[in-house]
Structure 1
Amino acid sequence: MRLLRPRPTPPPPADPGDILAEAEGLRVRLGSREALHGVCVPVRAGEVLALVGPNGAGKSTLLSALAADVPAAEGVVRIHGHPAADWSAAELALRRAVLPQSATLSFPFAVEDVVRMGRAPHASSPAEDDLALAEAMAATEVTGFARRPFSALSGGERARVALARVLAQRAPLLLLDEPTAALDLRHQELVLRVCRERARAGDAVVVVLHDLGLAAAYAHRVAILCAGKVAADGPPAEVFSERLLSEVYDQPVEVLSHPRTGALLVTPRRNL
């Protein structure tokens, strides 16, 4: 007689500062190209970590490796203290939630049904699922079109629905690949505020960003990637220097203090 495995349960709450994921000596090859070269990055509970850098630097590859979606050629990725390969797919789904760059569906699911997919890993009651669903949709401001087909939404609306699905999953590690790329100014700010709120609640959030201003404003820590390596890792105020950013992006960059608040501002140096 075949014995059924017990359904995995969510991990216990983490303490602030606990390492929920880490890459150690990580090398990743994509075909014949080595996309990451000996990368070491910890991801801590209670923290928003922004991955920034030019196109092709390895940001999305690192995010995928931290999600256990891309295998390591060398080194190791640990999730909740164990090598990523030690977890089953069901166990991983309770520990990390992943937002890819683009969200596509082949069938005309309603928005509410797409968000409900985030509850699939959980053996929870309908009431718990409904509460998680309602909170995720409210946080991303998609409640107003819950019954519309996902395929009928704009790119920005789809991006917010995809984020709501990730939030509904209620995993303690959130891995978000360019969540603001398709969004207007208001919703870019909304998404990064949600990231901070999740970190404040004890989650670890890793977010790939191209907007250095958003990274400076919302990230607790920034890892600057360049040519598959980490060029700097630390608080934005420490690692966002004009010299380093100008070198990494091959574009003159200015780092300024806001005249009213003193907050860090990062902008290309332009000669118009």
Structure 2
Amino acid sequence: MHRLTLTPRRRQDLTRLRPAAGEPVAEACGVAVRLGGRRVLDGIDLPLAAGEVLALVGPNGAGKSTLLAALAGDLPPEAGTVRLCGRPVGDWTPRELAVRRAVLPQAATLAFPFTVAEVVHMGRTPWADTPREDEDDAAVAEAMADAEITAFADRPFSALSGGERARVALARVLAQRTPLLLLDEPTAALDLRHQELVLALCRARAAAGDAVAVVLHDLNLAAAYADRVALLDAGQLTALGPPAHVLTADALTTVYRHPVEVHPHPATGAPLVLPARRPNAG
């Protein structure tokens, strides 16, 4: 396989990618996206800073995954601009994007019988022929330990359960060691323990200076772990701010078209979101 040889100056540039805490890493400015003739995002303004976890929440079809894809540079907007590390995302080459942001899609599929360890190693591909190639083994080992998949490193990816595959896919993203993580429903296939594990890893990456945007359907995970929550509905950003300011009963009842109750968590005080239900008849 041909491997790109980088000039000494380029090699040096790739070692200095992490923005300072609070510095914008990604930003959507007036972003609109149309898919299949339908406006899926409409005038989204959304900054994402180093050192924060941003949860994207909202009902099905709200535009969460589309917004994540636009921030990643995988989906060009019809209008508006997406900036990554201060430059329009379209100005970066695919290789430059791959060392600045890592993307976890909703579903992970592979056509060949790779082992778990081989899949995680794929996350290190962008760093080939750079000084950070020396980190490959350590980055892979750390990511596998963090995702709790070391015990089945030699198993075929195709032989894993859905939840195990999801954790392997997450480990691949973690091993990439980029300053921006874009995670689309990383907890969807996971049990309670591993849902908490994934969000704790997001918090740890933010504490280390990375920016993390994560699409979540579990509003209580968003309330517990996010610094800010972006509430989307029908392609529009209806609220943005700390969980306690965004996850209110009125706002959620309106957006989800279902009555919602919000109470303070007895231990943390974070919003605890509950759907309103009638007592069982009889």
Aligned position for 1:39: 44
Provide the secondary structure at the position in 1 that maps to 2:122.
helix
Q: What is the TM-score with the length of structure 1 in the denominator?
A: 0.96
Equivalent pair of 2:17/2:100 in contact (CA under 8 Å): no
Equivalent pair of 1:49/1:223 in contact (CA under 8 Å): yes
Deviation at 1:125, TM superposition (A): 6.3
Counterpart among 66, 87, 101 of residue 106 in structure 2: 101
Aligned position for 2:171: 164
Paired residues for 1:35-114 under 5 Å: 35-114=40-119
Residue 85 of structure 1 aligns to which amino acid in structure 2? Answer: G
Aligned position for 1:15: 20
- In 1, Cα distance between the equivalents of 2:131 and 2:141? 15
- In 1, Cα distance between the equivalents of 2:223 and 2:269? 12
Paired residues for 1:66-215 under 5 Å: 66-122=71-127, 123-124=130-131, 127-215=134-222
Deviation at 1:198, TM superposition (A): 0.2
Residue 38 of structure 1 aligns to which amino acid in structure 2? Answer: G
Residue 215 of structure 1 aligns to which amino acid in structure 2? Answer: A
Q: What is the TM-score with the length of structure 2 in the denominator?
A: 0.93
Bigger shift: residues 109-118 or 253-262: 253-262
- In 1, Cα distance between the equivalents of 2:90 and 2:177? 21
- In 1, Cα distance between the equivalents of 2:48 and 2:133? 32
- In 2, Cα distance between the equivalents of 1:69 and 1:97? 11
What percent of counterpart residues are identical?
65
Q: Which runs of 5+ in 1 are unaligned?
A: none
Q: Which runs of 5+ in 2 are unaligned?
A: none
Counterpart among 217, 223, 231 of residue 224 in structure 1: 231
Equivalent pair of 2:53/2:227 in contact (CA under 8 Å): yes
Equivalent pair of 2:244/2:270 in contact (CA under 8 Å): no
- In 1, Cα distance between the equivalents of 2:198 and 2:243? 19
- In 2, Cα distance between the equivalents of 1:179 and 1:17? 24
Deviation at 1:13, TM superposition (A): 2.3
Superposition RMSD on alpha carbons, in Å?
A: 1.5
Deviation at 1:262, TM superposition (A): 2.5
Residue 238 of structure 1 aligns to which amino acid in structure 2? Answer: H
Equivalent pair of 2:70/2:77 in contact (CA under 8 Å): yes
Residue 212 of structure 1 aligns to which amino acid in structure 2? Answer: L
- In 1, Cα distance between the equivalents of 2:101 and 2:87? 13
Q: How many residues align?
A: 270
Deviation at 1:208, TM superposition (A): 0.1
Aligned position for 2:29: 24
Residue 149 of structure 1 aligns to which amino acid in structure 2? Answer: P
